[in-house]
Copies of this chain bind each other. A is one copy, B any other.
Amino acid sequence: GDEGDKLIFRILNSGDFLKKMDENDFNKPDLSKIVNKISEKGLRYDLTVPFARFVVKNQNELTLPFKRYQIQPVWRADKPQKGRYREFYQCDVDVIGSKTMINEYELIQIINSVFEKLKINAHIKINNRKILAGIFEIVGEADKFIPITVAIDKINKIGIDNVIEELNKIGLSKNAIKTLANLLDKKNNSNNNISELKNILTNNPTGKEGIEEIEKILNYLENDNLFVKVNFDFSLARGLSYYTGTIFEVIANDAEIGSICGGGRYDDLTEMFGLKDISGVGVSFGAERIYDVMEQLNLFPEYAYTSTKVIFINFGEKEENKCIQLAKELRKKGISTEIYPEQAKLKKQMQYANKKNIPYVIMIGEEELNSETLTIKNMNSGEQKTIKAEELIRFFG
């Protein structure tokens, strides 16, 4: 869509990037013409569109339904600000080639496992574009689907009053705005107002299908006691134009940062690359935002801050060789080990261990070398112990 196009970073052609320019471009510079003459490539905007292209290109080799996950950086030519980055990693999960709601249900399971493991309290907002479409049809504004969803999508950022103003600008009828505003009203947003929408949409096939799909998903969820709660939310619209059915958004309960995961179902995305009637559904986790939430809420586990478990103090060349041998044995056992690389003053080496939160310091000086022993200092308790070199592995057993 247009909104997205503006946010694509363009790459200048290599070599003589001016070679396609003609006199007119220099006499009457026209940005939108020139940009396509000097730039053929752009930076990846998301992972869903490239995925659809991949599926079309490899349709003869792939077995449908095709499932994949993908973690890669994407770029947005946006003003950087909290929670909004010019380069960030998306972690996408998609199923393509299957229309049933069990796919949506399984994606919810994945979202639940992820945030349960990360200990992030969060909830999933869920809606269906067919419900939105149905309502827009009923209020006689079906032709303005995209601009209305773009406006509604901003409700959490700009509030209901500003959304109403935008709907006014788009040219919606007073009646249409009134109906939408009523349905968008926060107080009505809960799983309960599905029945209200169901009543309104009884005679609208599109909307009815949307309701049925949402109910199917909620039925699957009935017996699950998920860590991440799922709430139907009619005000959820999503900004991207390619969604046609279910839409998701995950919000962290205890941090203000926008959505940390989002996605939905797309029926026609492969069509732009020449393959019809392949429906897909997927979600995308925003790695940096999730990181921000975890940092803000102190959710990183202690071990995320300690990488090395054991360090050997360096007392000189002879001692170093012994340390190298023993370090090899520890590493073989999966114990992450360092040897201080310089024969620096003991104080400096201890400071290094301290600053890096290394819990065990091993000292092999001349005495230890001669007696085939080593001294281990527990940096947390301060306790120090001399053991035989051959007992080292057992010490960490």
Contact = CB atoms under 8 A, between A and B. Distances in A.
B18 A31 contact: yes
Contact of A12 (B11, B16, B21): B11
B324 A43 contact: no
Contacts of A38: 12, 38
Contacts of A145: none
A300 interface: no
Interface string A3-39: 0000001111010111001000011010100110011
A394 interface: no
Q: How many copies of this chain are found per oligomer? A: 2
Contacts of A9: 11-12, 14
Contacts of A328: 109
A105 to B, nearest CB: 8
Interface stretch (A96-104, A195-203, A255-263, A363-371): A96-104
A64 to B, nearest CB: 8
Contacts of A324: 102, 105, 220
Interface in A330-371: 338-339, 341-342, 351-352, 355-356
A184 interface: no
Nearest to A102: B341
A239 to B, nearest CB: 19
A181 to B, nearest CB: 35
A93 interface: no
Majority-rule SS of A interface residues: mixed
Nearest to A78: B14
A12 B39 contact: yes
A122 to B, nearest CB: 20
Interface in A89-130: 95, 98-100, 102-103, 105-106, 109
B31 A355 contact: no
A320 interface: yes
A339 B220 CA distance: 14
Nearest to A8: B14
Residue among A12, A338, A342 with max Cβ neighbours from chain B (10 Å): A12
Nearest to A29: B18
Given A63-B352, A355-B63, A320 B10 contact: no
Contacts of A63: 351-352, 355-356
Contacts of A27: 26
B98 A11 contact: no
Given A10-B12, A11-B9, A100 B342 contact: yes
A65 interface: yes
A294 interface: no
A35 B11 contact: no
A356 B356 CA distance: 45
A77 interface: yes
Contacts of A286: none
B17 A35 contact: yes
A88 B353 CA distance: 35
B95 A341 contact: yes
Contacts of A83: none
Interface string A158-174: 00000000000000000
14 contacts: A10-B11, A11-B11, A12-B38, A12-B39, A18-B31, A72-B73, A95-B341, A98-B342, A100-B341, A100-B342, A102-B320, A102-B324, A102-B339, A105-B324
